[in-house]
Structure 1
């Protein structure tokens, strides 16, 4: 499983992701159910940190945020 697939799975799967966009070093995501987000799995997938506020989850992935976001958008399509 590559990094993008692991992040999608850790965010609760494609069906749980409402929106995702890259921002410098982070993936800003909105999920349907924040309870499905697995922070340990996100860190195991390479995230440096995770910040949550309700259904908004920011995944700190470093300078490859744009590439990972593009890969995740391909998975979601």
Structure 2
């Protein structure tokens, strides 16, 4: 369970919002330094908001969104799973 004062948990919540919320996410997988997501509607993804939240980069190809987070990606993915 994540703690409200945990910076990774706060980042996970911001990423969840930036990806359009739980309803917009079909799948999330951490991969080395990136969080790979399959979203229902790419128009709901806020790339600028994801960068403001701390992502190093955001790449979208169709419904696949990759959020570059660095080596903390596994921890953040775990926190995302707790929020979903």
Q: TM-score normalized by structure 1?
A: 0.96
Runs of 5+ unmatched residues, structure 2: 5-9
Shift of 1:56: 0.2
Q: Does 1:13 align with 2:15?
A: no
Shift of 1:35: 0.2
Q: How many residues align?
A: 76
1-structure distance, mates of 2:19, 2:53: 11
Q: Does 1:75 align with 2:83?
A: yes
Runs of 5+ unmatched residues, structure 1: none
Per the alignment, residue 24 of structure 1 pairs with 32
Shift of 1:75: 0.6
Shift of 1:39: 0.4
1-structure distance, mates of 2:29, 2:23: 16
Please provide the CA RMSD for this pair.
Answer: 1.0
Larger helix proportion of the pair: 2
Q: TM-score normalized by structure 2?
A: 0.88
Shift of 1:65: 0.4
